[in-house]
Amino acid sequence: MDPIVGRMTLKEWVAVESDSVQPVLRLRRELLRMMGLAADRLRNLGARVDLVDAGFQQLPDGQSLPIPPIILAELGNDPKKPTVCFYGHLDVQPARQEDGWVTDPHTLTEVDGKLYGRGTTDNKGPVLAWINAVSTFRALDEDLPVNVKFVIEGMEEAGSLALEELVQKEKAGFFSSVDYIVISDNLWISRRTPALTCGTRGNSYFMVEVKCRDQDFHSGTFGGILNEPMADLVALLGSLVDSSGRILIPGIYDHVAPVTEEEKRTYEAIDLDLEEYRNSSQVKKFLFDTKEELLMHLWRYPSLSIHGIEGAFHEPGAKTVIPGRVIGKFSIRLVPHMNISVVEKQVKQHLDYIFSKRNSSNQMTVSMTLGLHPWVANIRDNQYLAAKRAIKTVFGTEPDMIRDGSTIPIAKIFQGTIRKSVMMLPLGAVDDGEHSQKEKINRWNYIEGSKLFAAFFLEMAKLH
């Protein structure tokens, strides 16, 4: 492996503003370009590459935007070797300099061994680490110990549109020869100890619109005689969660799996330095004081976050406006055995009730725009064993067996559709700040991660 070449490509990839969240044609073009760059890189490795057309995304306003094609690629088809399929995504969260970035979000910038930039850790860096591992064997003129496949999409941050459909369609085709799926789209729980991930939370994303009229009002000319949409909306959003983090929607905890004694012991084993975690997070105080409580509330209990409001005044300065139509956005992270459609119903009933109590003359509309299942892995599987050995080889330590509070819906999709073992093998450190204004991957994690994937190939071949 040539880390310099690897970093050069990461720099090139980070420079592409492949934001899938904002439904804007310009950004979709960047996504298309991104997928093209990745396809070229894989072809240079000698892989057979398909750019599968993924159709169009229908927007709420009736318009449609192209979905970037999904890459299906393969390298080797020796029936004596196991076939490992790597999933990754090359789309990113929105990032603008004015959001508070210190470095330009689309210029890979190294500071003290940290490679800053949008997408460095989520998920362009890990995708390239896997490619680096494969190319190492080619550079050394050695046979790949495993057959390798790639599924690389460009809509993960927008809910992996079109991916599930493709997986269904290729179940008996591209995926029929796949033995194992590896995903590397999350983080360790510490800065130094590698981890293996065996579960993720799901997510249900809600939009609640309150409308008086389409145009805004002047707060002098109309203030005092209106049911103002913002007043309704803050009341609705304020009814969702209390200041201890408990979700106030009736029935929401009914289907959450009870905590067993065995499960409790797994949290005790995790090597988490609370003080370091708090410091690296730059948070004065968490809602919970013990490691066990903290991990359970991140991994196995649902949480509700309010993300923002569309349609209200959001710029610096003082505008005296009564917004005419506003959309509040919040999401609930789901855990076993919560049911998405039950959650949707509970949320709608709750908001209907709160809104009806206000006796407002405005119109309220609630929609769930995303519903993603939680996922739990079988950690007694061969590839978990191979990954543990590879971690021991490269890092000289046992991994933390962790869950992830965030949602990687593809894990559940693969497990449910092609019914093969799914493993999540993160490369990034806990302080990588995915989705934040200081996203980075450490140079060390990027290089050791590339080595880890190569070692994993060797261990997989041995176990097969």
Site residues for its own copies, window 238-277 (CB under 8 A)? 238, 240-241, 243, 245
Q: In this complex, which beta carbon is closest to its own copies, that of residue 47 or of residue 424? A: 424
Cα 105 to Cα 98: distance, rounded to the nearest angstrom: 10
Which residue lies nearer to its own copies by CB, 33 or 435? 435
Q: Does 29 bind its own copies (CB under 8 A)?
A: no
Q: Which is nearer to its own copies, 231 or 385 (CB)?
A: 231
- Closer to its own copies at the Cβ: 329 or 389? 329
Q: Which is nearer to its own copies, 248 or 463 (CB)?
A: 248
Question: Is 26 an interacting residue with respect to its own copies (CB under 8 A)?
Answer: no
Residue among 92 and 455 whose Cβ is closer to its own copies = 92
- Which residues in the 51-110 window bind its own copies by CB under 8 A? 93-94, 99-100
Q: Which residue has the tokens 């140079």?
A: 443
**Near its own copies by CB under 8 A: residue from 294, 387, 391, 394:** 294
CB-nearer residue toward its own copies: 234 or 447: 234
Q: Out of 32, 45, 231, 256, which residue is the one contacting its own copies (CB under 8 A)?
A: 231
Out of 3, 23, 36, 66, the only residue in the binding site for its own copies (CB under 8 A) is 23
Would you count residue 445 as binding its own copies (CB under 8 A)?
Answer: no
* 109-111 sheet: strands from edge to edge: 109-111, 114-116, 440-442
Contact 249, 257 (CB under 8 A): no
Known catalytic residues are 91, 156
Among 37, 45, 51, 235, binds its own copies (CB under 8 A): 235
Residue whose C-alpha is closest to residue 322's, from 239, 208, 224: 224
Q: Does 318 bind its own copies (CB under 8 A)?
A: yes
With binding defined as CB under 8 A, does residue 118 bind its own copies? no
Min dist CB 79 to its own copies, Å, is 39
Pick from 32, 37, 45, 234 the residue near its own copies by CB under 8 A. Answer: 234
Question: What b/e readout covers 43-79, taking b as 16+ CB neighbours within 10 angstroms?
Answer: eebebebebeebeebeeeeeeebebbbbbbbbbbeee
Distances from the Cα of 181 to the Cαs of 15, 391, 423, 462, in angstroms? 28, 18, 6, 17
Please report, as residue ranges, which positions from 335 to 364 form the binding site for its own copies (by CB under 8 A): 358-362
What is the C-alpha end-to-end distance of the chain, expressed in Å? 25
Query: Which of the residues 146 through 165 are near its own copies (CB under 8 A)?
Result: 158-159
Is 217 a binding residue for its own copies by CB under 8 A? The answer is yes
* Adjacent-strand bridge partners of 151: 72, 87
Among 283, 290, 341, 342, binds its own copies (CB under 8 A): 283
Judged by beta carbon, residue 177 or residue 266, the one nearer its own copies is: 266
Q: How far is the CB of 44 from its own copies (least distance, A)?
A: 33
Residue from 203, 383, 415, 421 touching its own copies (CB under 8 A): that is 203
| Choice between 187 and 423, CB closer to its own copies | 187
Rounded to the nearest whole angstrom, what is the least distance from the CB of residue 235 to its own copies in the complex? 5
Least distance from C-beta 349 to its own copies, angstroms? 19
How many residues in the shown chain lie near its own copies by CB under 8 A? 97
Q: Which 397-416 residues touch its own copies, going by CB under 8 A?
A: 404-407
What does the block give as tokens for 305?
């976050």
Minimum distance, C-beta of residue 217 to its own copies, in the bound complex (Å): 7
User: Per CB under 8 A, which region of 34-42, 107-115, 262-270, 324-332 contacts its own copies?
Assistant: 324-332
* Contact between 125 and its own copies per CB under 8 A: no
Select from 223, 279, 345, 444 the one that contacts its own copies (CB under 8 A).
223
Contact between 43 and its own copies per CB under 8 A: no
Q: Which of 371, 433, 451, 457 binds its own copies (CB under 8 A)?
A: 433
